Amino acid sequence: MMMKESFHYKIMYFMHDNPILGRIRNPYDILRNIGIKECMSVLDIGAGSGFFTIPAAKIVGSNGKIFALDIYFKSKEIIKNKMKKENLENIEFLLESAEKTSLPDSSIDFAIMFGIIHNIKFL
């Protein structure tokens, strides 16, 4: 389900691609502290501009895999450009909802979900 960019998405993109944020909230430290390690398969739900996706791909290395899931097509373009710039080949982009992914059962070691509270619909 591809969605049109919302106001929230544009704000998130601006915030997460701001180089100052990486100094305030170091994504490498955060990912290592929650247990992301080499060779893992990680699902990044709400990957956005790749603020956590790219560092996670570097941490898991070439023997690991990152599945970057988002509902916005622009996220795919942004992450693909960053992959090329960083020479990363271990990221697969999933343009779909987190409710039911195309991933087979037991295909990931870890799932992360940062900064998407504005997209969650509460009952």
The confidence score (pLDDT) of residue 25 equals 80
Mean pLDDT by 10-residue block, N- to C-terminus, for the chain (123 residues)? 58 62 80 97 93 96 96 89 96 84 89 72 53
The confidence score (pLDDT) of residue 33 equals 96
Give the number of residues written for the chain: 123
Q: Structure tokens of 86?
A: 């960083």
**Cα–Cα distance, 34 to 29 (Å, whole number):** 9
7-117: in CATH 3.90.1200.10? no
**Cα–Cα distance, 4 to 120 (Å, whole number):** 16
Q: Residue 41: what are its φ and ψ, rounded to 5°? A: -105, 125
Report H helices in the chain: 7-16, 19-24, 27-34, 53-60, 73-86
Give domain limits for the chain.
Answer: 7-117
Q: Structure tokens of 7?
A: 């106001």
The confidence score (pLDDT) of residue 118 equals 55
